[in-house]
Chains A and B, each alone.
Chain A
Amino acid sequence: MHDLTSDDCVTIYGTKLQSRLLIGSALYPSPHIMKEAILESKAQIVTLSLSRQNPKTNGASGGQDFWQLIQSLGLHLLPNTAGCHTVNDAVNMAKMSRELFQTDWIKLELVGDDYNLQPDPIALVKATELLIKDGFKVLPYCTDDLVIARHLVDLGCEVLMPWGSPIGTGKGILNPYALQAIRDRFPDTTIIVDSGIGKPSHATQAMEMGVDAILLNTAVAHANHPVLMAQAFTKAIEAGRDAYLAGTMTERSTASPSTPTIDSPFWHQNP
C-alpha cells in the first residue's frame, strides 16, 4: 500500500530520515509523559535548549536528569537558540550547543519582538552567515517572508523552518499563500513548518502543500493526552505526505457530478 512512499525520506543536511515529525521536549506534564509522547510520535529528531546550571536549585543532579533521559532516547538532537535577541548571543549559544551536544546542527532562533516572538529577519541573516562560516549546519526559524528565505538559502541553508503562526498560538497556517510560495520557490530546500501548528489537521494541510516536515511541541505537550496526540499527529503528517505524493484534484468553482448522469432514469427530464 505504501510502495509509493516506502523510500520517501526527509533530508536534513545529508541525513535521511523516515519520520517527518520533529518534536520538542518542553512543556510536558512530566518527564515520563514527555518520553512516552516522543517515542509514540516516532520522531527521529528531538529539540532541546540550554539554561544556567544551578546546583543549589536544580537538585542533587544539577538538572542532569533531563539530559540523561534525552540521551536514552537515542534520537538526533537539534539544539535551539531560544530566547536570544542578539546576533552575539545566538552565535555564542550555538557554540555552546555544539560543544555540549556534539552536533553542528543548530535551530537558529532570534527573537525580534517579544509580543509574538517573531524572528528578527535581519539579525537572523547575519547570525546565519557567521555560523555557516564557522561550520554550522543552520536550521533557521524564520517567518514566511519569501525574500528572507531567499537570503538564507543563498547563504547556504539547506533547511528552512518558516512559521505557520507564532510560537505556541496553535493558530495553524495563517498565510497559506506565503508558505506555498516558499515551497514552490525552493524545491530543493527542506522546508519544515516550525511553529503555530495546533491540530493534526493543520499539520495535514501543511504537508498537503508539499512541505517536508513539521516541528511540534506545544500542540502535543499541552494536549489533554499528549501521548495520544503524538500518535494523532504522526498519522496526520503521514496522511498529508501521502496526499501530496498522490496529487490532489484540481479545485473547481462549479459543481461536477460524481455519479454518471447519462442514461440515468431521469436524463434530460425538466425540473
Chain B
Amino acid sequence: MSKSNQIQIAINATPFQVAKESTVEQALTEFKAKPPYAVLLNGQFLSNSLYSKTYLVNGDQLEVISAIQGG
C-alpha cells in the first residue's frame, strides 16, 4: 500500500512511488534518469519544457526514452 503522502505511478512499466504533487522533473531525478532522454506521459510525448510544470497523479505512466542502435 502506498503511504498517504505518496502516489503510485509507473516508470517504464515498473511501479514507482513518488511524493504527492511531484513534478515529472522530480520523478525523473528520483528515477536517476540519465540525460539525454525524452519522455512519454500516459502515452503522449511531453516536451522537456514541461517537466517542471507537470504534476503527477496516482496511476500516471511515464516512459523515459533514450537512444539505442537502429536500422
Residues of A bordering B, CB below 8 Å: 24-28, 34, 47-55, 61-64, 66-67, 70, 79-80, 82, 88, 92, 95-97, 99-101, 167, 215, 217-218
Contact = CB atoms under 8 A, between A and B. Distances in A.
B30 to A, nearest CB: 11
Given A50-B38, A88-B43, A64 B68 contact: no
Contacts of A55: 31-34
A270 to B, nearest CB: 62
Q: Name which of B37, B66, B71 has the most chain A CB atoms within 10 A of its CB.
A: B71
Contact of A53 (B13, B48, B65, B71): B65
B67 interface: yes
Interface of B: 12-13, 31-34, 36-40, 43-45, 47-48, 63-71
A52 B45 CA distance: 14
B45 A67 contact: no
Nearest to B68: A51
Q: Name which of B36, B37, B39, B68 has the most chain A CB atoms within 10 A of its CB.
A: B68
Contacts of A25: 69-71
A49 B67 CA distance: 6
A53 B45 contact: no
